[in-house]
Amino acid sequence: MRRYLCKKNCKLALDIPLYRSVVIGLGRIGFSLEGDKFRASPCTHSGSFAAHPDFDLVGGFDTDPEAGTDFLEKYPGICVGSENILEFLEKTRPSVVSVSVTSSAHLEILKALWEYQKKHQTILGILLEKPVGMDVKEALEIQKLCEEMKAFVVVCHDRRFYTEFQYYRDLIQNKKFGQLRHMRIEINCGSYAEGSGRRTPNLKFGGPMLHDGTHLVDLVQFLVGEPGWVQAMCTRSSKMIHTEDTCLGNMYFEDGRSVSFLCGGRRKYFHFALELGFEKARILHGNSQLIWLKRQKGGYFLEEMPVGLPEAKNPYLQRLNHLALGMQGKTESMASVQDGIRTLEIIDDIYESARSGGAMRATGKNPAYPPKAMVGRIHIKPLE
Ligand SMILES: NC(=O)c1ccc[n+]([C@@H]2O[C@H](COP(=O)([O-])OP(=O)(O)OC[C@H]3O[C@@H](n4cnc5c(N)ncnc54)[C@H](O)[C@@H]3O)[C@@H](O)[C@H]2O)c1
């Protein structure tokens, strides 16, 4: 493996090469959101590579030349491309590539990376933005290309790298507040309507359940596990919106746990909210919202308790730490393409349930139940 000089003001990373990193797609998450005062810093692919001592940001590519100009202004002297991606890759010889282009272009970029890798084999790791593809078929093609490239891939379902969600997962597993009985999860946002914003009219963008719900479904899997059954309804308020504007529904798990979810909701803001209903406590966690409640001593109601979260670490730098370990063969991917495909399969089942008027739908992994706790609507029989 080649070794490169470390950046100024950074200690030389012990025995770790400085990974030559490029960003394909210099839009919001690739580049331009950096510095947003409401987000973590760094929060973009470019900003994270620039801030991490083991990674060296060496180039950026975007079909929109204006994006490249802004990028160059922020990172003078860096290699920028907008026309021929293969030439750009030949010039930059990256060991790490971020794929942060529009979701419908993920496959096209992966094909180009595969083409390049066939000749040069310099790519060790890929950060692939979510959703993996626009549907399961596309995602399976992407998976095949990634496998053939033999690169370590991390899908950017970033909540897996947040200190708090890792902590909640531990809380659920160690049953500190008893069993988790129910989780409510919401992502509130608007939907893309034809003719609105600066996006091109025919952009394949996906509805809220795909575009943002991918984070929601991924977090359900990370915290609670594989749902056995889903049921959902979708609504669309205007013909100008080509997808649903809201998707709401439920998921059921083998051990009787349940999740209720809402994605979209025709909001003029973005808000993420999670509510964990444990046997003995309730945690409300969201953007600008954090309340922990526990059962009163000697009473039957809930009262506030101190929030017990550990100090948060930057998830995007954590993600890079993980990528580095993976590229050195020291860990499996915490957010693999396979996990991302499973998320898309569950989203498909959610849409399929909505198409059939909210019918209960098995998600394929646990076909042997509805769980015994799932009783009929009218005759509630004692459990055997
Ligand atoms: N992980 C997260 O929290 C998060 C947040 C936002 C977006 N995303 C994902 O990141 C991706 C980009 O989203 P965004 O909000 O930054 O979009 P954006 O529209 O702001 O940026 C996308 C950029 O990709 C460029 N592009 C499109 N096709 C290209 C191609 N074939 N080759 C090179 N460049 C191309 C566009 O010119 C644009 O600059 C999407 O997949 C989205 O789902 C993830």
Q: Which segment of 69-78, 197-206, 269-278, 313-322 scores lowest on mean pLDDT?
A: 197-206
110 lines ligand 1 (CB under 6 A): no
154 lines ligand 1 (CB under 6 A): no
| pLDDT given for residue 150 in this prediction | 98
Which of 102, 187, 243 for a ligand 1 pocket mutation test, highest count of atoms within 8 Å of Cβ?
102
24 lines ligand 1 (CB under 6 A): yes
103 lines ligand 1 (CB under 6 A): yes
What tokens were used for 353?
């349930």
Ligand 1 centroid–CA 64 distance in Å is 11
The mean pLDDT of 362-378, rounded to a whole number, is: 60
82 lines ligand 1 (CB under 6 A): no
Summarize pLDDT for 267-282 with one digit per residue, the tens: 999 999 999 999 999 9
In a 3-state reduction of DSSP, which class is residue 210?
A: helix
Provide the pLDDT confidence category of residue 285 given band limits of 50, 70 and 90: very high
Summarize pLDDT for 216-254 with one digit per residue, the tens: 999 999 999 999 899 999 999 888 888 899 999 999 988
Instruction: Give the structural domain span for 135.
Output: 19-156
The mean pLDDT of 138-142, rounded to a whole number, is: 98
**Structural domain includes residue 371:** no
| pLDDT given for residue 8 in this prediction | 38
218 lines ligand 1 (CB under 6 A): no
* CATH number where 302 lies: 3.30.360.10
* CATH number where 144 lies: 3.40.50.720
| pLDDT given for residue 43 in this prediction | 97
Bond from prior residue into 42 cis (ω within 30 degrees of 0): yes
Q: Are residues 41 and 188 in the same domain?
A: no
| pLDDT given for residue 204 in this prediction | 59
Ligand 1 centroid–CA 349 distance in Å is 26
| pLDDT given for residue 305 in this prediction | 98
**Structural domain includes residue 353:** yes
**Structural domain includes residue 55:** yes
Is the confidence at residue 5, as pLDDT, over 70? no
The mean pLDDT of 89-110, rounded to a whole number, is: 97
Q: Are residues 182 and 278 in the same domain?
A: yes
The mean pLDDT of 42-67, rounded to a whole number, is: 97
208 lines ligand 1 (CB under 6 A): no
34 lines ligand 1 (CB under 6 A): no
Q: Are residues 106 and 171 in the same domain?
A: no
**Structural domain includes residue 43:** yes
- By the 8 A CB rule, do 28 and 50 touch? no
- Cβ-count burial of 294 within 10 angstroms (0-12 exposed, 13-18 middle, 19+ buried)? middle
158 lines ligand 1 (CB under 6 A): yes
> How far apart are alpha carbons 321 and 127 in whole angstroms?
12
**Structural domain includes residue 129:** yes
Is the confidence at residue 114, as pLDDT, over 50? yes
Provide the pLDDT confidence category of residue 6 given band limits of 50, 70 and 90: very low
Summarize pLDDT for 351-368 with one digit per residue, the tens: 999 999 999 898 876 555
- Who has greater pLDDT, 130 or 201? 130
| pLDDT given for residue 256 in this prediction | 83
Where does 121-205 have alpha helices with state H?
A: 136-149, 163-174
> How far apart are alpha carbons 161 and 334 in whole angstroms?
9
Q: Are residues 176 and 118 in the same domain?
A: no
Is the confidence at residue 13, as pLDDT, over 80? no
Q: Are residues 56 and 145 in the same domain?
A: yes
| pLDDT given for residue 364 in this prediction | 75
| pLDDT given for residue 381 in this prediction | 55
Q: Which of 119, 134, 156 is the last residue of a domain?
A: 156
> How far apart are alpha carbons 234 and 139 in whole angstroms?
23
Q: Are residues 117 and 151 in the same domain?
A: yes
Question: Is the C-alpha dihedral spanning 59, 37, 133, 227 positive or negative?
Answer: positive
Q: Are residues 207 and 135 in the same domain?
A: no
Ligand 1 centroid–CA 130 distance in Å is 10
The H or E element spanning position 69 is: helix 65-74
> How far apart are alpha carbons 163 and 79 in whole angstroms?
34
Q: Which segment of 42-46, 123-127, 243-247, 370-374 scores lowest on mean pLDDT?
A: 370-374
Q: Which of 156, 174, 194 is the last residue of a domain?
A: 156
Q: Are residues 358 and 268 in the same domain?
A: yes
What tokens were used for 319?
């993600």
108 lines ligand 1 (CB under 6 A): yes
End-to-end CA distance of the chain: 61
| pLDDT given for residue 202 in this prediction | 47
> How far apart are alpha carbons 323 and 312 in whole angstroms?
19
Q: Are residues 358 and 221 in the same domain?
A: yes
Task: Give the ligand 1 atom nearest the CA of 25.
Answer: 24
Q: Are residues 138 and 202 in the same domain?
A: no
**Structural domain includes residue 272:** yes
Rg of the Cα atoms in the chain: 22
Provide the pLDDT confidence category of residue 206 given band limits of 50, 70 and 90: confident
| pLDDT given for residue 371 in this prediction | 56
Ligand 1 centroid–CA 30 distance in Å is 7
| pLDDT given for residue 14 in this prediction | 47
The domain tally of the chain equals 2
Q: Residue-wise over 45-64: b if at least 16 C-beta within 10 A, else e?
A: bbbbbbbbbbbbbbbbbbbe
Q: Are residues 114 and 199 in the same domain?
A: no
149 lines ligand 1 (CB under 6 A): no
What global pTM score does this model have? 0.91
Q: Which of 156, 174, 189 is the last residue of a domain?
A: 156
- Cβ-count burial of 158 within 10 angstroms (0-12 exposed, 13-18 middle, 19+ buried)? buried
**Structural domain includes residue 373:** no
Q: Are residues 241 and 100 in the same domain?
A: no
> How far apart are alpha carbons 104 and 203 in whole angstroms?
8
Q: Which segment of 29-43, 165-179, 182-196 scores lowest on mean pLDDT?
A: 182-196
**Structural domain includes residue 10:** no
